[in-house]
Amino acid sequence: MERAIIHLNVADFAVAVERVIDPRLAGRPVIIAPGKASRAAVYDMSDEAYRSGIRKGMLLGRAVRLRRDAAVIVPHMDRYDRAMHALLKQALPYSPLIESGPDDGHLFMDVTGTHRLLGPPVDIAWRLHRQIKNDLGLNPIWSVAPNKLVAKAASRLVKPVGEYIVASGDESRALAPLSLCLVPGIEKADLIRLHEFNLTHVFQVAALSLTQLEMPFGRRAPSIYKAVRGIDGSPVLPVGQSPPVISVGHEFSEDTNDAPALERHMYRLVEQAGHSLRKRCLAARRIGICLNYTDGKRCIRQARARPATANDLDLFEVAGRALLAAWKRRVRIRHLALVCDGLVFPPAQMALFENDRQHREKRAGVVGAMDAVRHRFGPGAIHMGRTL
144-185 pLDDT, tens digit per residue, is 999 999 999 999 898 888 899 999 999 999 999 999 989 887
Give the domains, in start order, of the chain with CATH numbers. Answer: 1-11+76-242 (3.30.70.270), 13-75 (3.40.1170.60), 246-387 (3.30.1490.100)
Classify the C-alpha dihedral 91-92-96-101 as positive or negative.
positive
Amino acid at 201: H
How far is the C-alpha of 232 from the C-alpha of 230, rounded, in Å?
Answer: 6
CB-CB contact of 239 with 88 (8 Å): yes
363 burial (CB, 10 Å; 0-12 / 13-18 / 19+) is: middle
Each residue of 338-363: pLDDT tens digit? 999 887 766 544 444 566 667 677 77
Burial (CB < 10 A; 0-12, 13-18, 19+), residue 358, is exposed
Rounded Cα gap, residues 151 and 103, in angstroms: 19
Give mean pLDDT in consecutive 10-residue pieces for the chain, a chain of 388 residues: 91 93 93 76 90 88 91 89 91 90 81 89 94 94 94 89 92 94 80 88 94 84 90 82 80 88 92 86 86 86 85 91 89 91 64 62 76 78 78
pTM, to two decimals: 0.66
